[in-house]
Amino acid sequence: MTALPTRKLEAWRYADLKAVEALWPPPPARLISVPAGASDAQLLRVDAGGIHDVRVELAPGARLQLVVVITSASYARVQIEAHLRAGADLDLGGVLLGSGDTTIELVTDVRHLEPEATSRQRVRLVLDEQATGNYLGRIAVARDAQLTDAAQSARALVLKRTATANLKPELEIFADDVKCAHGCTVGELDKAALFYLQSRGVPPAEAESLLAQAFVADALDGIADMALREQLDAETRGWLERRT
Amino acid sequence: MLEIVNLHATVGDREILKGLTLSVKAGEVAAIMGPNGAGKSTLAHVLAGREGYTVTQGSVLFDGQDLLALEPHERAAAGLFLGFQYPVEIPGVSNLLFLRTAMNAQRKLRGEAEISGADFMKRVREEAAVLGLDLEMLKRGVNVGFSGGEKKRNEAFQLGMLMPKFALLDETDSGLDIDALRIVSEGINRFRGPTRAVLLITHYQRLLDHVRPDVVHVLRGGRIIETGGPELALRLEAEGYEGLAA
Ligand SMILES: Nc1ncnc2c1ncn2[C@@H]1O[C@H](COP(=O)(O)OP(=O)(O)OP(=O)(O)O)[C@@H](O)[C@H]1O
Ligand SMILES: [Mg+2]
């Protein structure tokens, strides 16, 4: 990937191309490779602008839990290409928090190359002001990757109507015995819940942040490391409380 | 404590409250009864400051303060509590986190110190035990998976925890079984006191058998059309609203 991408490329449709140009060429992909039967957990924390390429290689029976948290105030993109061999398992949690007029995006390409691999993606976006948040999630199941189980759930919470969410799932399935569940929704804060909280004394900004926190919690639920979980909860809370 | 004078309010472009005047004194327990669609819940929402309810005329004084000038959370900190006719479910926010956040936000606005974790849990255990609410349930999302009666018990629990000055209870008795009605009524009776007041919105005499009101008001067509003692509720139970002038 050396030529500057254009809008015509599906994976760059919603990117901030001006910002991309300034960041081009991106640094080489970071490789996360988990050997056969092994388990790993990785956190990718993006709080500054940049293009992050990640290549995931899961050998047979390998397991990876990957958490991506993007809170950058300028254009940030994480693109992940994952190759899953027989019986491998990928658990991906994504939290994207955008404010100002920034564009942040998570682009995933999960390739089930061999039978019986499983993948789950839970992505939550919270978008304020004029921010744009994108999730483009492609799942490809190869011809002999029977008994694949791939789940994908992406939900965006738009705090102001001036913010934008683009959620694009894409399934490419060549095997026939496959379970693929996906769901994408964009919504606003529940007015009735906000009023309930406020009527008990919670100020509006704090009420919004409580609800938004509950909203992103799903994406972090898979994290087994309690200290890390608490740290990420605190970071999201901090971000939500800093907004005005 | 609460002085409502000539209150007019619209929802959308429809006028629902049409010159409502009502006063509730400290120490008083008042009941509001009235047919479906009379505007009882609208009054409750207007007093609590819900978005979408516009006051077009009239005034509301709460403890001498202009209630309508306050934001909903400021009204709570000033001591107003609304028990919802339909309590809201909030997945992902536990009952306890919600309540502690609310309690501390109110205290902060009043310039008081936060409640300590230990004191908070002590109060939670006491109140939950009285209302027969399971502690495990309270760790779940606000009202999530609660039955109709459990939601109402949770409203009574929050009332007991927050101990406001003024409790405005919108059909807190509806949906309760006989035992729960007795428990919630006891909660309201314990809440009663010379510096507090209660306004009960209800359709049923059975609540008023447990919580004896000092005054009964009839709300119909967006106004209070009659005020009397506890015997007025009995008369309504026997004769319905039809006999009253609209
Ligand atoms: N959001 C709304 N939009 C339009 N009309 C509304 C809205 N909310 C309430 N109303 C109308 O206002 C009127 C009063 O409703 P309200 O809920 O205050 O009645 P209520 O006295 O509490 O009745 P109930 O005893 O059935 O609870 C009803 O005719 C209702 O249809
Ligand atoms: Mg009602």
Q: Cα angle at B37 between B158 and B63, to 5 degrees?
A: 45
Split at pLDDT 50, 70, 90, the class of A1 is: low
Residue type, A66: L
Q: Which residues contact B122 (CB under 8 A, 6 or more apart)?
A: none
Distances in Å between the Cα of B60 and the Cα atoms of A45, B66, B130 are: 51, 6, 34
Task: State the Cα torsion B206-B210-B215-B221 to the nearest 10°.
Answer: -30
Atom of ligand 1 nearest to the CA of B203: 25
Q: What is the mean pLDDT of the segment spanning A146-150?
A: 96
Split at pLDDT 50, 70, 90, the class of A204 is: very high
Q: What is the DSSP string of chain B?
A: -EEEEEEEEEETTEEEEEEEEEEE-TT-EEEEE--TTSSHHHHHHHHHT-TTEEEEEEEEEETTEEGGGS-HHHHHHHTEEEE-SSPPPEEEEEHHHHHHHHHHHHHHHTTPPPPPHHHHHHHHHHHHHHHT--HHHHTSEETTT--HHHHHHHHHHHHHHH--SEEEEESTTTT--HHHHHHHHHHHHHH--TT-EEEEE-S-HHHHHHS--SEEEEEETTEEEEEE-HHHHHHHHHH-STTS--
Task: State the Cα torsion B128-B129-B131-B132 to the nearest 10°.
Answer: 110
Task: State the Cα torsion A21-A25-A26-A29 to the nearest 10°.
Answer: 150
- For chain A, the residues whose C-beta falls within 8 A of a C-beta of chain B are 190-193, 195-204, 206-207, 210-211, 213-215, 217-218
Distances in Å between the Cα of B88 and the Cα atoms of A218, B91, B137 are: 20, 10, 15
Q: Does A212 map to a domain?
A: no
Q: Which residue out of B88, B108, B163 would a mutagenesis test of the A interface target, given it has the greatest number of A Cβ atoms within 10 Å?
A: B88
Question: What DSSP element (H or E) covers A30?
Answer: strand A30-34
Contacts 24+ apart (CB under 8 A), B108-111: B109/A201, B109/A203, B109/B73, B109/B74, B109/B77, B110/B77
Q: What is the CA radius of gyration of chain A?
A: 18
Contact A200 B84 (CB under 8 A): no
Split at pLDDT 50, 70, 90, the class of A165 is: very high
| Residue A2 in this model has a pLDDT that exceeds 80 | no
The confidence score (pLDDT) of residue B245 equals: 61
Give, to the nearest 10 degrees, the angle between helix B148-162 and helix B178-191. 10
Protein residue with its CA nearest to atom 11 in ligand 1: B37
Q: What is the CA(B160)–ligand 2 centre distance, in A?
A: 22
Q: What is the CA(B192)–ligand 1 centre distance, in A?
A: 29
The confidence score (pLDDT) of residue A125 equals: 97
Q: What is the CA(B18)–ligand 1 centre distance, in A?
A: 13
Residue type, B29: V
CATH superfamily placement of domain B2-239: P-loop containing nucleotide triphosphate hydrolases (3.40.50.300)
Contact B50 A218 (CB under 8 A): no
Atom of ligand 1 nearest to the CA of B85: 27
Picking from A181, A41, A153, A165, the residue whose alpha carbon sits closest to that of residue A97 is A165
> CA-CA distance, A18 to A23, in Å (whole number)?
9
From the DSSP assignment, how many helices (H) and strands (E) are in chain A?
4, 12
Q: What is the mean pLDDT of the segment spanning A23-43?
A: 96
Ligand 1 binding pocket includes B14 (Cβ within 6 Å)? yes
> CA-CA distance, B65 to B49, in Å (whole number)?
14
Picking from A95, A97, A50, the residue whose alpha carbon sits closest to that of residue A74 is A50
Residue type, A101: D
Q: Does A105 map to a domain?
A: yes
Ligand 1 binding pocket includes B38 (Cβ within 6 Å)? yes
Q: What is the CA(B39)–ligand 1 centre distance, in A?
A: 6
Query: Which residues keep their CB under 5 angstroms from ion ligand 2?
Result: B 40-41, 85
Q: Omega of the bond prior to A35 within 30 degrees of 0, cis?
A: no
**3-class DSSP state for residue A120?**
strand
> CA-CA distance, A83 to A213, in Å (whole number)?
31
Query: Per this entry, what is the length of chain B?
Result: 246
Question: What DSSP element (H or E) covers A127?
Answer: strand A118-127
> Among residues 158-177 of chain B, which lie with CB inside 8 Å of chain A?
158, 162
> CA-CA distance, B218 to B229, in Å (whole number)?
11
pLDDT, tens only, A83-136: 999 999 999 999 999 999 999 999 999 999 999 999 999 999 999 999 999 999
> What is the CB neighbour count within 10 angstroms for residue A11?
18
Domain boundaries, given as residue ranges, for chain B: 2-239
Q: What is the mean pLDDT of each run of 10 residues along chain B (246 residues)?
A: 97 95 96 94 96 96 96 97 94 94 96 95 93 90 91 93 96 86 90 95 90 94 93 86 70
Q: What is the mean pLDDT of the segment spanning A148-173?
A: 95
Ligand 1 binding pocket includes B36 (Cβ within 6 Å)? yes
The confidence score (pLDDT) of residue A244 equals: 53
| B96 min Cα distance to partner chain A (Å) | 13
> What is the CB neighbour count within 10 angstroms for residue B217?
23
Q: Does A15 map to a domain?
A: yes
Contact A195 B92 (CB under 8 A): no
Give the domain range for residue A68: 10-189
The confidence score (pLDDT) of residue A126 equals: 96
Our count of domains for chain A comes to 1
Q: What is the mean pLDDT of the segment spanning A57-80?
A: 97
Q: Cα angle at A172 between A166 and A177, to 5 degrees?
A: 130
Query: Per this entry, what is the length of chain A?
Result: 244
| Residue A228 in this model has a pLDDT that exceeds 90 | no
**3-class DSSP state for residue A188?**
coil
> CA-CA distance, A171 to B7, in Å (whole number)?
58
- Which ligand has its closest atom nearest to the C-alpha of B37? 1
Picking from A11, A228, A3, the residue whose alpha carbon sits closest to that of residue A106 is A11
| Residue A220 in this model has a pLDDT that exceeds 90 | no
